[in-house]
A and B are shown apart, each in its own frame.
Chain A
Amino acid sequence: MARSASGFSLAQSGGGPLRGVLGTSLGWTSWALFGSLLLHIDRTPLWVTFVACALIAWRLLAEAHPVRLPGKIARVAIALILVMAVFVRFRTLNGLHAGTVLLLLMSAIKLLETQARRDQYIVLGGSLFLLLAACLERQDLLRMPLYVLQAWLTCGALAIVAYAPDKMPATATSPMEHVGGFDTRAALLLAGRTLLYSVPLAILLFILFPRVQGAFWAVPRSDDAATGLSDTMSPGSISQLTSSYDIAFRAKFEGKVPPPQERYWRGPVLHQFDGYTWTRAPYGAYPAEPLEYLGHPYYYRVSLEPSQQPWWLALDTVAEIPTPKASVTYDHALIGSEPVTELTTYVAVSYTATRTTQPLSKRARQIETTLPAGRNPRSVQLAREMRGRVGSDGAYVAAILDFLRTGGFVYSLTPPLLNKDSVDDFLFNTRSGFCGHYASAFVTLMRAANVPARVVTGYLGGEWNPIGRYLVLRQSDAHAWAEVWLDGQGWTRFDPTTVVEPDRLTRGMLDLLPDSGSREARLVHGSPTLAHLLARWDAANAWWNDHVVKFDYAAQLNLLSRLGIGSPDLQTLGWGFLGALSLWLGWMAWQFGRAVPRARPDRLGRAYARLCRKLARAGLPPRAAHEGPLAYADALSAKTPDLAPQIRRLLARYAELRYGEEQASYDTEVREFERGVGALTL
């Protein structure tokens, strides 16, 4: 077996054990492909993973055991069947998801027919592109070690493939004389070092390479399931979210941070009620009221995690959003032009207090006071009675809040199920509910008394990260509240939940309802150390998201201007890049050049060189290259008979130290010789 001792062979000849095959270049190519398979394992259908694994195993088994590989026709047939299967499953071969699956399967089939080095290069190229697809799909900091490992593994496999003989050796004996040393370990080390050396250039290009605004072709939508807030609200829909510890978004404030009671983050506003479920009204159902902003503005930057929904969360009420990719709706929610399929960052300006002095339009009043006919009759009756007893809408709101406060209502994450007349059932029977129940009941009571009101969903509060100095809003912070139209004031926020449970404003869900939330949330909640570590980790994630994942055209301009390149044009960037590139190449040449150290004479040799220089400076003939110390002494004694004995003694001493038998006192004698050289006066 050629090179089996320390090098690689393409294939194991004869029925060796499978373990031997895994160490060959074929084995390493398979490992690289398997690594990319693992990166996509949670996003690919199970059958794809299974088929790819089976194809890899088939190829490897064929090396070790008498298993036959498919012929050309069979391979083409398998490939066609798989392409069709992918098409049936995804309805397309295009797009990130289908394309990834297709590339994965085709690489596995390529592996099946792999014989020569060229085939293995192609499989490794496929692995690298699958790594790229993984980068396109997900950019979590947590996955970075996996990506780094996969890049390393693939490049290591490349080194191994390049070193192994091209084809299966025809004869058992290799004509090559193998020195050894370049084994798996050396290959992986080489790949790792090469990648490390390329990091400076990668960073440089990352910063300087011009980004394009907009895509060359439309990026197909992801078919991931939507998460977070939805467009509808029925009893229990929000409490489902509280079991999720996932992050909805992070918000970093510039300047003042709003106090806890003003941290309402507005999401979709719901207008229509069928007695059980709240839904949105058609877009632009009525015109937006002109707002008068009160108090001071809050400036902040949100980085929104993908939700597959169009809603961009903003602090209530958003005043400005300087991007054309999102707009403010008539009900002051922020909606993006596309669903949020990737991490999205934006800056916004909000005021927490507003006023509208104009009257509500007729159309709006009609929409916001409509209730389903014949539903929740007891609530409607209650509302009419109570409205009759007070003089104004404002007093009515206060009376209803008082009713909720004193009516024996309980804040609970797991309330009993409600029947079709959900508000009646809640107000008069169960009296136990979550924010959705309270908002729904409150708005129903308002509308029943002909007071315009609507349900607002969004997030409340947020956890302050002291390391990154930003707010983290999790899915468990999802909330619903109400807005009531009061003449002279406009839409006014009322949060009936906080009437029942005032602590909801300032404390997290877990303080209030220890049984709520996911297991990891409770775990973190119970341990301050863990909470601190988690805050650190989250700050690292936030930094990663802001500075790496979202390093776009604007961030590039920003960084360059901070580096002192005010208005970078392509030419400046080009020159900067060339300069830095040459620095990098020079640095590398220097690094590699150190591998050939110049031979440096030892201590004795240096003293001898010093002596010879000294003699030459004194005007004596310099030592010729071919002259030994004694021959040189002979040559000198002819020139300077008076100094000769002294010089001869030193030169002879050198010859003795250099060529004589080494004594125990060698070091002392060398030092003595050095002193003798120093003491020589000419």
Chain B
Amino acid sequence: MAAWVRRRQGADVLPLTLQRRRLYILPTRAGLGFLVLLLFMLIAGLNYANSLALFLTFLLSGFVLVTMQLSHRNLLGTSLHAAVAPPTFAQRAGNLRLTLENPAVAPRYQVESGLSDEPARTTDIPARGRSHIDLPVSAAKRGIVMLDRLRLTTTHPFGLFRTWTWVHAPIQMLVYPRPFGSLPMPNESGRKSGARSRGDSGADEWHGLRPFRDGDSPRQVDWKAYAREAPLLVKEYSATGSELRIFRFGQLPGLGTEARLEQLSRWVVDAEERGDRYGLELPGVRITPDRGAEHRHKCLAALALYELDPQQPAKDRQ
């Protein structure tokens, strides 16, 4: 079934509006029970040749059919606006955040989403609004996890039918190596990174605010303050005197590749926390010392993808 659906629908690109031909619908167990109840009602009504009982039976049959339509409608036209999985560490809880959009004037209720083997989560989507579903994703190994099979389901209203669809969007989650290991962090002895001039860009220590001058980067403007009707201010950072460290793959003899990567990951995480400047050297990869969230990601991504072909993602999820 899954393979057939995949072949039938092809690969999807987000944002994706759920169209008719990709929605599947079947009665739930409660729905099957309801149908059995209707059958008994019909037999009783026919046996007693009782018009009212028959009418009730027919009314409830209509009820089931309307419910089927409503359930279908509850998903039809919903759009999966975005599916973002921020990088995570191996063996830690990752998270896939889905953004669902409802263009209709009526709210949609109990839209459920899940990955094939993870517990599903439910949300309501307000009329002409958006809401999010955060799905837990876990990965055992570093690398790239392809979350290419996503299920969107609803049993609303009355829980008699389950309408669902599969989305095959190439959602990737980068998995950093698990930060693990207890070796001391190497230090580039004697070499301090030194204080840099004020106004230098980069993710340094918070220094203060100063008025906006032409030529300032918009990224440094304190928009929040501006929104509170303060004058246009610019955030300033300065680097404090901190350690400069270079983490080298080759520095860790006696460990396996994965253990080395885990130790390097540990160091990167710790150094970033301490506010040190750090660089990374792997065979074939060299990242010059710096700091900040972007730099940390760059380093960890290099560790995550070390000796992996980015075109050949880890298949451990599928």
- Residues of chain A at the chain B interface (Cβ within 8 Å): 117-118, 121-122, 125, 128-129, 131-132, 135-136, 139, 147, 151, 155, 158-159, 161-163, 175-182, 190, 194-195, 197-203, 205-206, 209, 211-212, 215-217, 219, 548-552, 585, 588-589, 592, 595-597
Cα of A195 to Cα of B131 in the assembled complex, Å: 30
Chain A nearest CB, measured from B159 CB (Å): 3
In the complex formed, the residue of A with least CB distance to B159 is A162
A596 and B105 in contact (CB under 8 A), knowing A132-B44, A206-B54, A209-B54?
A: yes
Q: Are the CB atoms of B33 and A125 closer together than 8 Å?
A: yes
Cα of A145 to Cα of B54 in the assembled complex, Å: 17
Chain B nearest CB, measured from A668 CB (Å): 32
- Residues of chain B at the chain A interface (Cβ within 8 Å): 29-30, 33-34, 37, 40-41, 43-63, 65-67, 69-70, 73, 77, 103-107, 109-110, 121-126, 129, 131-132, 155-160
In the complex formed, the residue of A with least CB distance to B136 is A175
Q: Are the CB atoms of A219 and B48 closer together than 8 Å?
A: yes
Q: For B49, give its contact among A128, A180, A199, A552 (CB under 8 Å).
A: A552
Chain B nearest CB, measured from A192 CB (Å): 11
Q: For A179, give its contact among B56, B103, B131 (CB under 8 Å).
A: B131
In the complex formed, the residue of A with least CB distance to B64 is A198
Q: List 22 A-B contacts (CB under 8 A).
A: A131-B56, A132-B44, A132-B53, A147-B56, A151-B59, A159-B157, A162-B160, A163-B157, A177-B124, A177-B132, A178-B124, A179-B129, A182-B124, A194-B66, A194-B67, A194-B158, A198-B60, A199-B59, A216-B43, A595-B104, A596-B105, A597-B105
A121 and B33 in contact (CB under 8 A), knowing A194-B66, A194-B157?
A: yes
Q: For A163, give its contact among B45, B63, B67, B109 (CB under 8 Å).
A: B109
Cα of A206 to Cα of B61 in the assembled complex, Å: 11
Chain A nearest CB, measured from B133 CB (Å): 8
By a CB distance below 8 angstroms, the chain A residues around B52 are 135-136, 139, 147, 548-549
Q: For B47, give its contact among A128, A176, A219 (CB under 8 Å).
A: A219
In the complex formed, the residue of A with least CB distance to B69 is A588
A194 and B47 in contact (CB under 8 A), knowing A129-B37, A202-B55?
A: no
By a CB distance below 8 angstroms, the chain A residues around B110 are 163
Q: Are the CB atoms of A161 and B65 closer together than 8 Å?
A: no
By a CB distance below 8 angstroms, the chain A residues around B48 are 136, 215, 219
Cα of A336 to Cα of B131 in the assembled complex, Å: 68
5 new A-B contacts at CB < 8 Å, known A131-B56, A135-B52, A215-B47: A125-B37, A162-B160, A181-B126, A211-B49, A215-B48
Q: Are the CB atoms of A175 and B106 closer together than 8 Å?
A: no
Q: For A589, give its contact among B51, B69, B158 (CB under 8 Å).
A: B69
Q: Are the CB atoms of A177 and B131 closer together than 8 Å?
A: yes
A195 and B156 in contact (CB under 8 A), knowing A132-B45, A595-B104?
A: no
Top 10 closest A-B pairs, CB basis?
Answer: A198-B62, A162-B159, A201-B62, A179-B124, A205-B58, A135-B52, A202-B59, A202-B58, A596-B104, A135-B53
Cα of A597 to Cα of B105 in the assembled complex, Å: 8
In the complex formed, the residue of B with least CB distance to A594 is B105
A181 and B62 in contact (CB under 8 A), knowing A132-B45, A215-B47?
A: no
By a CB distance below 8 angstroms, the chain B residues around A205 are 58, 61-62
By a CB distance below 8 angstroms, the chain B residues around A211 are 46, 49
By a CB distance below 8 angstroms, the chain A residues around B126 are 179, 181
Q: Are the CB atoms of A588 and B57 closer together than 8 Å?
A: no
By a CB distance below 8 angstroms, the chain A residues around B60 are 128, 151, 198
By a CB distance below 8 angstroms, the chain A residues around B159 are 117, 121, 158, 161-162
Cα of A131 to Cα of B53 in the assembled complex, Å: 9
Q: For B69, give its contact among A139, A195, A209, A585 (CB under 8 Å).
A: A585
Q: Are the CB atoms of B65 and A596 closer together than 8 Å?
A: no
Chain A nearest CB, measured from B93 CB (Å): 13
